[in-house]
Chains A and B, each alone.
Chain A
Amino acid sequence: MNHSVSARLWLAILLLAVAQSPSAACLLRGTGDLGVVIERASGSVQVVDTTARSSLFRVTGLGDLSHASVVFSRDARYAYVFGRDGGLSKIDLLCGRLDKRVMQAGNSIGGAISQDGRLVAVSNYTPGGVKVFDAATLDQVADLPALDDKGHSSKVVGLVDAPGQRFVYTLYDAGEIRIADMSDPHAPKVERFRDIGRQPYDALITPDGRNYIAGLFGEDGLVRLDLWQDKPVPQRILDHYGRGEKKLPVYKMPHLEGWAVAGRRIFLPAVGHHEVLVMDSDSWQEAGRIPVHGQPVFVEAEPGGRHVWVNFAHPLNDTVQVIDTQTLKVIATLKPGKAVLHMEFAPRGAAVWVSVRDDDVVRIYDTTTFRELAHLPAEKPSGIFFTDRAHRVGL
């Protein structure tokens, strides 16, 4: 009798555990409106639904996610999470579970997925360089060291995919851009562009896959590489944009992610200045500067480019501002809460999701009225990534 009760009790506990386990059942649905929110302090991510504005799963055990970023498989079912501690994790969005995980380096900063979706590349700080993995198995395919001419290893930043099955990346310490042609993944062809400037801190590629642009920390300026040329030559743009002005201490590095472009105008963060820089994409000349609340971290255009949204570095990081790209004026100032770390637009741009680290919340705003539509609890949220990135060059 006792035995039977005990057995039934255990069965009940087991069933309860299965029922409550988020990975017990996989969802049968599309993933086009899903995404991932990084919870930086707890080594976890939430899988979110941008239509229902709800959280579907929480996936844990992903290591140090300070400065984590994400790319998606081309079927948009899997998210590849690049952790600070060198962990590369592949997450199944439909099942809400960790599919595979490898520790590929001591310290890493970002990653990219190849044009054909078969290769995932990770850029590393320790040891410097880029490692390339099979997107399905996470088996290592190639190792691209980042040694300068003296044999010193360099931290690698600004890693993106480019058309022609290429990866483009920048060597922070060496001041160099490299293009790795991965057409034959076992025999990569690497092209080097030396002496681009001091301390390139991040880079981006335009959605057409043509222009690779690296921002410099050690100098006021950016470097453009035209990937459509047979023999590209690095070109300095917005050189000395801070001329005559005192550069402020930078408490958080800006990020050159995505591409804030509206018509011919391109919007970029000024390093060490309370300004957003505007550049003409035909002439690559400065087309204006917009005074803003603080030092910009992310400068992101809504899909379509009607508005540009900006968040700011510590200690002015409680604010988000919206710039009208026609008048170049700030038209809205929002106060989502303390430590706004990232913004991500829902597909087609009807809403923007904003992570507010110190308030442990993600706030969702209507991009027309700027009103808050909903909010979701999250533990120290940082990066937000939606699956429509799966089909865009450089994201």
Chain B
Amino acid sequence: MRMTFDTLLLIMTAAGMAATAGAAPDSARQSELLYLLNQDCSACHGMTRKGGLGPPLLPSSLRDRPTRLLVTTILDGRPGTPMPPWRGELSEQDAQWLVEALRRGEGL
């Protein structure tokens, strides 16, 4: 009985941690993501997101692109192009938030 309770507790804790890891980025994290976008992504996509070696990331240029494709491109990169995979540095939720921010034209 006692073992079962501990196991249950362990499972609940693990579930709680997974939920935290899967949470949408808080405002501090959002600032970090926006900084990364403006400072590092801009090496290829430009400060004004009009593109460079990489394609433009303006709301108008992303309008017809499925969100899933954009999230996957951020996380796994695009083979055959210089776009690197950012998984490891960015979570699924981070990438999701970045795509939304790009669609809003945040910080432009």
Majority SS at the chain B contact face: loop
Q: With a CB–CB cut-off of 8 A, which chain B residues contact A333?
A: none
Indicate whether B84 reaches chain A with its CB closer than 8 angstroms: yes
Q: Which of B46, B77, B80, B85 contacts A84 (CB 8 A)?
A: B46
**Contact indicator A64/B53 (Cβ below 8 Å):** no
Indicate whether A244 reaches chain B with its CB closer than 8 angstroms: no
Q: With a CB–CB cut-off of 8 A, which chain A residues contact B84?
A: 249-251
Q: Which of B39, B51, B80 contacts A126 (CB 8 A)?
A: B51
Assembly CA distance A85 to B77 (angstroms): 25
Q: Which of B43, B51, B80, B89 contacts A253 (CB 8 A)?
A: B43
Q: Which of B43, B77, B80, B85 contacts A66 (CB 8 A)?
A: B43
Q: Which residues 44-77 of B have a CB within 8 angstroms of A? A: 44, 46-48, 50-53, 77
List 25 interface pairs A-B (beta carbons < 8 Å), by A numbering. A40-B42, A41-B39, A66-B47, A67-B42, A84-B46, A84-B50, A85-B46, A106-B50, A107-B46, A109-B52, A125-B51, A125-B53, A126-B50, A155-B53, A172-B53, A199-B82, A201-B53, A217-B82, A249-B85, A250-B82, A251-B40, A253-B44, A253-B53, A314-B40, A358-B39
Q: With a CB–CB cut-off of 8 A, which chain A residues contact B52?
A: 66-67, 84, 107, 109, 125
Indicate whether A357 reaches chain B with its CB closer than 8 angstroms: yes
Query: Given A84-B46, A85-B50, list of 17 further CB < 8 A pairs?
Result: A41-B39, A41-B47, A66-B47, A66-B52, A107-B52, A125-B52, A126-B51, A199-B82, A201-B53, A201-B82, A217-B82, A218-B80, A251-B40, A251-B84, A252-B43, A253-B43, A253-B82
Majority SS at the chain A contact face: loop
**Contact indicator B50/A107 (Cβ below 8 Å):** yes
**Contact indicator B46/A315 (Cβ below 8 Å):** no
**Contact indicator A85/B48 (Cβ below 8 Å):** yes
Interface of A toward B, CB cutoff 8 Å: 40-41, 64-67, 84-85, 106-107, 109, 125-126, 155, 172, 199, 201, 217-218, 249-253, 314-315, 339, 357-358, 380
**Contact indicator A66/B46 (Cβ below 8 Å):** yes
Assembly CA distance A348 to B84 (angstroms): 38
**Contact indicator A380/B51 (Cβ below 8 Å):** no
Q: With a CB–CB cut-off of 8 A, which chain A residues contact B82?
A: 199, 201, 217, 250, 253
Indicate whether B38 reaches chain A with its CB closer than 8 angstroms: yes
Assembly CA distance A254 to B79 (angstroms): 18
Assembly CA distance A217 to B81 (angstroms): 9
- Distance in Å: Cβ of B17 to nearest Cβ of chain A: 24
Assembly CA distance A155 to B42 (angstroms): 17
Assembly CA distance A217 to B78 (angstroms): 14
Known A-B contacts A251-B40, A357-B39; the reply to A40 vs B51 at CB < 8 A is no
Assembly CA distance A383 to B35 (angstroms): 19
Assembly CA distance A273 to B50 (angstroms): 29
Assembly CA distance A40 to B48 (angstroms): 11
Q: With a CB–CB cut-off of 8 A, which chain B residues contact A339?
A: 39
Q: With a CB–CB cut-off of 8 A, which chain B residues contact A217?
A: 82
Q: With a CB–CB cut-off of 8 A, which chain B residues contact A201?
A: 53, 82
**Contact indicator B46/A64 (Cβ below 8 Å):** yes
- Distance in Å: Cβ of A81 to nearest Cβ of chain B: 14
Assembly CA distance A140 to B52 (angstroms): 22
Q: With a CB–CB cut-off of 8 A, which chain B residues contact A109?
A: 52-53
Assembly CA distance A182 to B26 (angstroms): 56
- Write the chain A residue with the least CB distance to B87: A249
Q: With a CB–CB cut-off of 8 A, which chain B residues contact A314?
A: 40
Assembly CA distance A172 to B53 (angstroms): 9
**Contact indicator B43/A107 (Cβ below 8 Å):** no
Q: With a CB–CB cut-off of 8 A, which chain A residues contact B80?
A: 218
Assembly CA distance A41 to B39 (angstroms): 8
Among A40, A172, A339, chain B packs the most CB atoms within 10 A around the CB of A40
**Contact indicator B47/A84 (Cβ below 8 Å):** yes
Assembly CA distance A253 to B43 (angstroms): 9
Assembly CA distance A342 to B41 (angstroms): 17
Q: With a CB–CB cut-off of 8 A, which chain A residues contact B85?
A: 249
Q: Please give me the 5 A-B residue pairs with the lowest Cβ-Cβ distance, nearest first.
A: A249-B84, A66-B47, A66-B42, A64-B47, A64-B48
Q: With a CB–CB cut-off of 8 A, which chain A residues contact B46?
A: 64, 66-67, 84-85, 107
Q: With a CB–CB cut-off of 8 A, which chain A residues contact B77?
A: 249
Q: Which of A41, A107, A357 contacts B51 (CB 8 A)?
A: A107
